[in-house]
Structure 1
Amino acid sequence: MEIKRIEKEQAWQLRHEVMWPERELAYVILEDDDAGVHYGLFVQERLVSVVSLFIDGTEAQFRKFATRVSEQGKGYGSQLLKHMLQEAEEACVQRIFCNARSNKAAFYRKFGLVETETTFTKGGKQYVIMEKSMDNSRREAR
Structure 2
Amino acid sequence: MSLKITEISVQETYNLRHQVMWPNKPQSYIQLKEDSQGIHFGLWKDSNIISVVSLFIKNDSVQFRKLATKVSEQGQGYGTLLLEHLIAFVLDKKLNKLWCNARADKTFFYERFGMLKTSKTYTKGGIDFVIMEKCF
Structure 1, unaligned stretches of length 5 or more? 135-142
Partner of 1:107: 109
Deviation of the 1:48 alpha carbon: 0.4
* Match runs of 1:62-101 below 5 Å: 62-101=64-103
Q: Deviation string for 1:62-83 (max 9, x for gaps)? A: 0000000100010011001100
- How far has the Cα of 1:105 moved from its partner? 0.2
Query: Residue type matched to 1:55 in 2?
Result: I
**What's the secondary structure of 2:87's corresponding residue?**
helix
**Alignment partner of 2:123: what SS?**
strand
State the match for 2:56 in structure 1: 54
Overall identity of the aligned pairs, in %: 45
**TM-score normalized with structure 1 length:** 0.93
TM-score (normalizing by structure 2)? 0.97
Find runs of 4+ consecutive structure 1 residues off by over 3 angstroms. none
Q: 1:110 & 1:118 partners in 2: Cα distance?
A: 20
One-letter code of the match for 2:30?
Answer: V
SS at match of 2:32: coil
Aligned partner letter, 2:115: L
Q: Which amino acid aligns with 1:25?
A: Q
Equivalent-residue separation in structure 2 for 1:76 and 1:56 (angstroms) = 26
Distance in 1 of aligned mates of 2:13 and 2:93? 22
Distance 1:34 1:92 in 2: 23
Taking only aligned residues, the RMSD between alpha carbons, in angstroms, comes to 0.6
Count of residues paired in the alignment: 134
Where 2:75 maps in the other structure, the secondary structure is coil
Cα separation, 1, equivalents of 2:32 and 2:103: 17
Identify unmatched segments of 5+ residues in structure 2: none
Match of 1:124 in 2: 126
Who is 1:6 aligned against? 8
